[in-house]
Amino acid sequence: MREQAARDMAALAEEIRAHDVRYYQQDAPTIDDATYDALRLRLLALEKEFPELVRPDSPTQTVGAAPAEGFKKIRHSQPMLSLDNAFSEEDVRDFDQRIRKFLQLGAADELYYICEQKIDGVSFSARYEHGQLVQGLTRGDGEVGEDITENLKTILPLTLRASPPLLEVRGEVYMKKQDFLTLNESRLAVGAPLFANPRNAAAGSLRQLDVSVTAQRGLSYFVYSWAQLSEDVETHNSDMKFMLALHDMGLTTFVTRDAGAARHYQWTASLDVLLAYYQEMQAQRALMDHDIDGMVYKVDRLDWRERLGFKARSPRWAIAHKFPAEQAVTVVEAIEIQVGRTGTLTPVARLAPINVGGVVVSNATLHNEDEIARKDVRVGDTVIIQRAGDVIPQVVGVVSGASGAMRAEPYAFPTHCPVCDAQAVREEGEVARRCTGGLTCAAQRMERLKHFASRNAMNIDGLGDKQIEAFYQEGLISSPADIYTLQARDGEGLSRLKNREGWGEKSASNLFAAIETSREVALARFIFALGIRHIGEETGKLLAKHFGTFEQLQAAVLDAHARETLLAIDGIGATVAQALIQFFSEPHNQQLLATLMDVLRVQPYSAPALANTVVAGKTVVFTGTLDRIGRNEAKALAETLGAKVASSVSKKTDYVIAGADAGSKLKTAVELGVTVLTETEWLTLIGHAHA
C-alpha cells in the first residue's frame, strides 16, 4: 500500500509540475482550474494519508515557475507564495481548526477573518520609497521575479499620499470583462490571435517589452497585502485597518471607506457569516465586471499571522475558498497519447470546440488509463465538461444515450510507446504507464534535453524547445554533453548555425555565449537538471544544502550505507532515496556524469547568511508533545533562526528537544550523547518569550 501510494504521488507530482510551467511561466495553460485542482486534491489526500512520503519538491510545497525570458530577474525581498485551496464548507472549518490548534486557541476565543474576492490575474510586487514607485516584479517562481517596473507604472499610482519611507505591496493585475471583449474585438479586426480569457490577456499585456502596449490594454489592479514596511509604522495589529491605510495612501484595495459602494470584503469572527458571504458572492459573480473564482479568507491579527508563519508554498494564515466549476456538453473527436520526459503516457481528449463561460476550449487531459476506463470515455461520445475560469475543461462523464446506440469500441490504451514502439509498462499499483525505451525513445531523450536546458535547470538562453527539437532531429545533439561540444564541432562555431533559417551571426554567437555561461552552475540547479525521477527543484536545493558539493553527494549515494544516509535527511523519503541510488548506480549515467563534470563547473552550495543566533547552522530534532507552543510552530521558529530541523537523530544532531511522551528519538539521543533539552530550556536558549 505504501509503495503504491509513493508511485501515485510521484505520477501526480510530475503532471502538476508540467501544468505549473504552462500556467505561471508560459501563460498558456492546457487544463482548467477544476482539472488542476482535482489533481492537487488527489495528491494532497495521499500526502495526508502518508505524511512520511511527502517530498520537499512536491507541488504542494512549491509555487509558480521560473521567470520568463525578456525581463531582468530580481530576487524578492520576501518570497511570493501561493494559497492553499478549500472546496467545501468542511474544508473551511478544518482550516479554522488548524489555526486554533496551532495558536492553542479555545472554541470561545475570538478569531477574526477578513474575506476578499479572489480575482485570477497576474500577481505583482510593487516597492515604494518615500512615496515613489521604484520597482515592480512579477511572482516568477516565488523567489525571483521579472522586473516589470515600467509596465506597472502605467497601471499603479506613481506617487502615494502620506506614504512611509519604505512600503512594498503585493497585488494582482487583471482585466475587466468589457476591456477583455474590447481587446479581442480589436485583435479580430486586424487578424491577430485572440486571447483565451481575461487572465491570459492580462498576463500577456503586463509582460510586453513595449510599455506603450501595456498602457493601451486597459488593465486594472488591486492590492491585497504587503511584504516590507518601514519600522515604527502603525498597523494597529490588523490586516483590515492597515489595508484601509493603504487605500488612504491612494492604492486600490477591497477595503474602502466608501459606505455606499458594494461590499467588497467581510470582516467577522463568525464562520457562519463568512460562509454566508461566500454564498452571496457566488450568486453575484456573473453580474460583476470582472471574473472571480472564489473568496480568500485571511487571519486579521498580524501578531498571530507572524506566529503562524508559512509552509513551503503557502501561508498558514490564509486560504482560497474556490467556487464550483461551470459545465457544458461537447463531443470527443479523438483520444491521443503524449509521451513525457520520464516516459509517462498521458491521454489527451480532443474535443469539438465549445464555449464555456466565454472561453472556447477544445482539449483536455484524461490523466491516465484508469480515468478513461472509469468514465468509459470513447471517441464520438457526448461528454459533460467543466471549467472554473480557465482554458481547458475536465471531462466529468459521458452523457448517457447521447452518443447513440452505435458507440465506438472502448478505448484500448496502448501497450507500446507511440513514439518509439518500445513496450509501455505499468508497474503494479502505479497509475501511470511508462515507455521502457529510455534514452532510445526520441520523446524522452528530447524531453530530457529540454529539461536540462530549461530555465530552472541549466538556464541556457536561446536553447528553447524548438531549437532542441531541430538540433536533435538533425543529429547535432543527442545528450546533454553534446551541448557543450556544439561550438567545437561547428568549426569556428558560426558556420553551421548562422546560415540556418531564422538564425544569423548574432543569434548564433548569443547561443554559444549562453552555453559558455551555463558551464558554471549552482549545485542545486545541476541536480535538478539531471532529470532524476522524483527529484524536483526543492529536493535539489535540499540535497545541495545537505551535501555541499556534487562530489560529496555522489560519494554518499554510492556508499554502502547510502539509504540510511539519505533517509536521515529531513524531507527525503524512501522513494527519493531509491531514485537517487538507482540513478547514480547506473553505469550509463555514471559515464554521462563523468563527461559532464569534464565540461562543467558545478559550484558548491553557498549557504545564505544566517541570523546571528545561538542555533544558526545547528541541527535540531523535536520529539514528544510540546506544551507551550505547537510542534509545527516550534519547527518553523527554529528554521527562521537558522537551525536545520531533522527528522531522525544521529551523531551530527546538535540538540534534541524532548516534550512529553518522547520515545525512541530521546533514547537514541541519550545513547549517542546528543544534548537533550526540555521545551522550556529550548525556548530559553533561543530567547523566545512566548508562553
DSSP secondary structure string for all residues of 380-406: T-EEEEEESSSSS-EEEEE-TTTT-SS
* Terminal alpha carbon distance of the chain: 42
Res. 65 pLDDT band, cuts 50 70 90: very low
**CB contact at 8 A, 360 and 353:** yes
Name the percent of the chain lying above pLDDT 90. 34
Average pLDDT over residues 541-558: 91
Q: How far apart are CA 680 and CA 364, in angstroms?
A: 55
**CB contact at 8 A, 170 and 78:** no
Cell numbers that stand for 632 in this block: 509545527
In terms of average pLDDT, the best of 23-37, 426-440, 447-461 is 447-461
In single-letter form, the type of residue at position 612 comes to N
Amino acid 109: pLDDT: 93
Res. 654 pLDDT band, cuts 50 70 90: very high
Amino acid 321: pLDDT: 95
Amino acid 357: pLDDT: 60
pLDDT tens profile 76-100: 988 888 899 998 999 999 999 999 9
Higher confidence at residue 647 or residue 64?
Answer: 647
Average pLDDT over residues 36-46: 75
**Catalytic pick from 73, 118, 450, 541?**
118
Amino acid 103: pLDDT: 93
Amino acid 35: pLDDT: 67
In terms of average pLDDT, the best of 5-14, 240-249, 347-356 is 240-249
Res. 28 pLDDT band, cuts 50 70 90: low
Question: Which of 44-48, 391-395, 427-431, 464-468 shows the lowest mean pLDDT across its residues?
Answer: 391-395
Name the percent of the chain lying above pLDDT 70. 89
Residue ranges of E strands in 120-165: 122-129, 132-138, 144-146
Res. 483 pLDDT band, cuts 50 70 90: very high
Task: Using DSSP bridges, classify how beta strands 84-86 and 318-322 pair: parallel, antiparallel or unpaired.
Answer: parallel
Amino acid 337: pLDDT: 93
In single-letter form, the type of residue at position 389 comes to G
In sequence order, the 6+-apart residues with CB closer than 8 A to the CB of 351 are 330, 331, 332, 333, 361, 362, 363, 364, 383, 385, 393
Beta bridge partners, 292, equal 119
In sequence order, the 6+-apart residues with CB closer than 8 A to the CB of 288 are none
Res. 197 pLDDT band, cuts 50 70 90: confident
Amino acid 641: pLDDT: 83
Amino acid 31: pLDDT: 64
In terms of average pLDDT, the best of 40-54, 224-238, 596-610 is 224-238
Cell numbers that stand for 576 in this block: 527519493
Burial profile 489-500: b = 16 or more Cβ within 10 angstroms, e = fewer: ebeebbebbbee
In the predicted model, is pLDDT for residue 66 greater than 80? Answer: no
Question: Which of 203-207, 367-371, 390-394, 483-487 shows the lowest mean pLDDT across its residues?
Answer: 390-394
Helix, strand or coil, per DSSP, at residue 665: helix
In the predicted model, is pLDDT for residue 191 greater than 60? Answer: yes
What average pLDDT does the structure give for the chain? Answer: 84
User: What is the Rg, in whole angstroms, of the alpha carbon atoms belonging to the chain?
Assistant: 26
Average pLDDT over residues 265-291: 89
What does the longest C-alpha to C-alpha distance in the chain come to? 78
Amino acid 67: pLDDT: 44
Question: Which of 318-327, 419-428, 450-459 shows the lowest mean pLDDT across its residues?
Answer: 419-428
Helix, strand or coil, per DSSP, at residue 662: coil
Higher confidence at residue 25 or residue 276?
Answer: 276
In the predicted model, is pLDDT for residue 601 greater than 60? Answer: yes
What is each CA distance from 394 to 206, 286, 551, in whole angstroms?
A: 28, 21, 45
pLDDT tens profile 149-187: 999 999 999 999 988 999 999 999 999 989 988 988 888
In the predicted model, is pLDDT for residue 56 greater than 70? Answer: no
In the predicted model, is pLDDT for residue 113 greater than 80? Answer: yes
Question: Which of 51-60, 234-243, 324-333, 440-449 shows the lowest mean pLDDT across its residues?
Answer: 51-60
Average pLDDT over residues 652-672: 89
Q: Any catalytic annotation for residue 73?
A: no
Average pLDDT over residues 249-267: 79
Task: Using DSSP bridges, classify how beta strands 359-365 and 345-356 pair: parallel, antiparallel or unpaired.
Answer: antiparallel
Higher confidence at residue 329 or residue 334?
Answer: 334
Question: Which of 37-51, 233-247, 506-520 shows the lowest mean pLDDT across its residues?
Answer: 37-51
Amino acid 390: pLDDT: 45
Q: How far apart are CA 232 and CA 594, in angstroms?
A: 55
Cell numbers that stand for 398 in this block: 459521458
In the predicted model, is pLDDT for residue 259 greater than 90? Answer: no
Beta bridge partners, 365, equal 348
Amino acid 611: pLDDT: 59
